[in-house]
Amino acid sequence: MSGQPASVGWINFWKPKDEWYYLTVYERDRLLERWESIREAAVARGAVRLGVYECRASTAWARVALWEFPDLQALTEMVDRLSEAAYYQYFAEENSFGRRTERPYENFEVAARLTEALGGA
């Protein structure tokens, strides 16, 4: 492991809960503005928003957002702030994350060579 933590990719599936549809337009706008300011603060800390994609055609979710964070703490802080701001009262999520690698096949190459050395070929 290097001293510098590798950045963290985040796959964020989400959809509104039923309650979202029954808020007033004022309440919805106020919440969206608040949540957006939290996301912008994460971006100011180095997070990168790669995009949001419609995904009902291929998943049980409505949208998937792709992000990259400088480290795990930046991600968990954003989620904490969204939790405090009632985001999870109105939206459901399923999330996955991973450490960035520039050598995605390296581990399997090492393991394959070891397997070969052990007579597994």
Partner 1 sequence: MTVGFVALWRNNQREFLASASDEWGTTEQIQDAFAGGRERGNQTYGLYYCRWSSSWQYLTFWVSPSLGAVFDTIADLEQAGDFKFADSLHLVGQFDGNEGLRSLGAWDEIPDVIEGQSPPIGVFLAERGTLGAAPSDGRHFGERLAPIVEGLGVRMYGRFKCRFGSGWDAFSFWTAPNGEAVMEALGQLERHLGPALPDLEVVMGRLDRYFRFGNHLQTELTWLNEETRDR
Residues found near partner 1 in the complex (CB under 8 A): 1, 5-6, 8, 10, 17-19, 71-73, 75-76, 79, 83-86, 88-89, 93-99, 106-108, 110-112, 114-115, 120
Asked if 41 contacts 81 with a C-beta cutoff of 8 angstroms, the reply is yes
E-only strand ranges, the chain = 8-16, 48-54, 63-69, 91-99
Distance (Å, whole) CA 98 – CA 75: 12
The CB-of-90 to partner 1 minimum distance in angstroms stands at 9
The CB-of-77 to partner 1 minimum distance in angstroms stands at 10
Q: Which of residues 11 and 52 has its CB atom nearest to partner 1 in the complex? A: 11
The CB-of-111 to partner 1 minimum distance in angstroms stands at 3
Q: Which of residues 3 and 51 has its CB atom nearest to partner 1 in the complex? A: 3
Q: Which of residues 5 and 39 has its CB atom nearest to partner 1 in the complex? A: 5
Which residues have CB under 8 Å from 21's CB, separation 6+? none
The CB-of-45 to partner 1 minimum distance in angstroms stands at 15
Q: Which of residues 18 and 33 has its CB atom nearest to partner 1 in the complex? A: 18
Which residues have CB under 8 Å from 32's CB, separation 6+? none
CA distances from 115 to 41, 104, 112 (A): 47, 19, 5
